[in-house]
Structure 1
Amino acid sequence: MPDELADGPSAVLFDMDGTLVDTEGLWWEACAEVASGLGAPLPAADQEVLFGLAAEDAAEHVSRRAGGDPPPAAVTTMLTDAFTARVKRGVTTLPGTVALLDALRAAGIPAGLVSASPRAVVDLVLEAIGEDRFRLSVAAGDSARNKPAPDPYLAAARRLGVDPVACVAVEDSPTGIASARAAGCAVVVVGSPYRGVSGRMVRVPSLERVDLPMLRLLAATARPGDRNNGRREGG
């Protein structure tokens, strides 16, 4: 086993919305409000489509439903403003979040936040959870591409100076899971009906079921040949 993984993981990289804080409902409310205001109400089935998407990608969807007027760039601003307004009213930290983050800090394992939400929203949530609990944060626009591309997780690992293969990502959406897996991270899937669990993945009902032995065991499943496999942002 590589030394980097012996007492691993080298870092634990957390998704934000629906993983650490209960904001998925707020995101759906923002999307539904904007779409209705454009005369293109969203069907309930679109909630799954928009789950885990960055604002730019969600705006593409809403703009298409509205016939392309206004264009996606304008819809992105509308969605971001509507979502930010809701988050400013307060967010609920999901069970197990603070205890796990504090356990990682006590063990000297860096925690990073890797989110598809805008920087303004990420900073509000960091303030609510405690910014000092995270070594870094990556928001939408901080990497060349958003989730499901691997770029956000690759950016976080690069900034921490670690191999993404030695990291564990904690995710709840198919979009985020795809991003983390493409970067080479092991993945903890939290509270999701996601059915594609295989390889270096484990599914748990909540963060209350995640502890350091689980994370270390998951990180240790990396094979020496998996390291430095040439993954790059934007490629």
Structure 2
Amino acid sequence: MTSSIPAADTRTADGATLQAVFLDLDGTLVDTEGFWWEAEAEVFAELGHVLDEAHREVVVGGPMSRSASYLIEVTGARITLAELTVLLNARFAARIARGVPLMPGARRLLTELSAHGVPTALVSASHRTVIDRMLRSLGPENFHLTLAGDELSRTKPHPDPYLTAAARLGVDPARCAVVEDTVTGVTAGEAAGCRVVAVPSVMPIPAAAGRTVVGSLEEVDLPFLRSLITERQ
């Protein structure tokens, strides 16, 4: 993917400009958050441990290293982080090998952004091998840039992924919209100074100043995203 695409002119009537849109992957564009939990539950069952549903709220939306480390700690499983990471990625990859279901409104939103030339980045905590598999369903042509969790030293909830995406696209984070489905992702987008749209998937996301919470991507389109930047002025 190239990151040398100039920011498209998405100027609104009053002069405010939406320079780019950053989209999360799991639970936002593709309906796979449940896949991750099932993969984790299956792997730990094979290790002799039953995962409590309460752990799901902790691991959802987080980077693999954090989620796997937490599950090792709470279960006492005798496995290294590196070994568990390999097992979880392999189990998840097997689940998505035949394609992944898109969230309602995802295809329409990606098509609209692409048709209007809006610089769009896929920013995920998932590993590169997983992202590349899912891009077969999403269409790599819909993204000017894709960024994986294992390509940065710090990923969500730190702002680094969104700050990196903005820097590579040459845009101002304050004039970018982030679409996320978890508190972890929302925290990262807000810390980067972006305008965040929360589309809760597995766990609820509370309303907060400067945060827009919607029921699904079917409520999100280009005029809506442009209006968020206008409101900030």
Per-residue deviation, 1:151: 0.7
- Give matches, 1:72-111, under 5 Å: 72-111=81-120
| Match of residue 228 from structure 2 | 218
Structure 2 distance, partners of 1:205, 1:66, is 34
Per-residue deviation, 1:103: 1.1
Structure 1 distance, partners of 2:205, 2:166, is 26
Whether contact under 8 Å (1:4, 1:166) holds in the other structure is: no
- Give matches, 1:1-235, under 5 Å: 6=15, 8-67=17-76, 69-192=78-201, 194-223=204-233
Per-residue deviation, 1:195: 4.2
CA RMSD of aligned residues (A): 1.8
Whether contact under 8 Å (1:40, 1:65) holds in the other structure is: no
Whether contact under 8 Å (2:198, 2:205) holds in the other structure is: no
Which residue type is aligned with residue 103 of structure 2? L
Number of equivalenced pairs: 221
Larger deviation: 193-202 or 182-191?
193-202
TM-score, normalised via structure 1 length: 0.88
Per-residue deviation, 1:125: 1.1
Structure 2 distance, partners of 1:7, 1:64, is 47
Per-residue deviation, 1:146: 1.3
Which residue type is aligned with residue 104 of structure 2? P
Structure 2 distance, partners of 1:102, 1:218, is 20
Deviations 1:146-201 (Å, cap 9, x if unpaired)? 11011111111111011111110000001111111111110111145634322322
Whether contact under 8 Å (1:39, 1:66) holds in the other structure is: no
Structure 2 distance, partners of 1:219, 1:35, is 44
Deviations 1:112-147 (Å, cap 9, x if unpaired)? 101111111111111111100011111112222011
Give unpaired runs (5+ residues) of structure 2. Answer: 1-9
Structure 1 distance, partners of 2:77, 2:36, is 21
TM-score, normalised via structure 2 length: 0.89
| Match of residue 226 from structure 1 | none
Whether contact under 8 Å (1:201, 1:218) holds in the other structure is: no
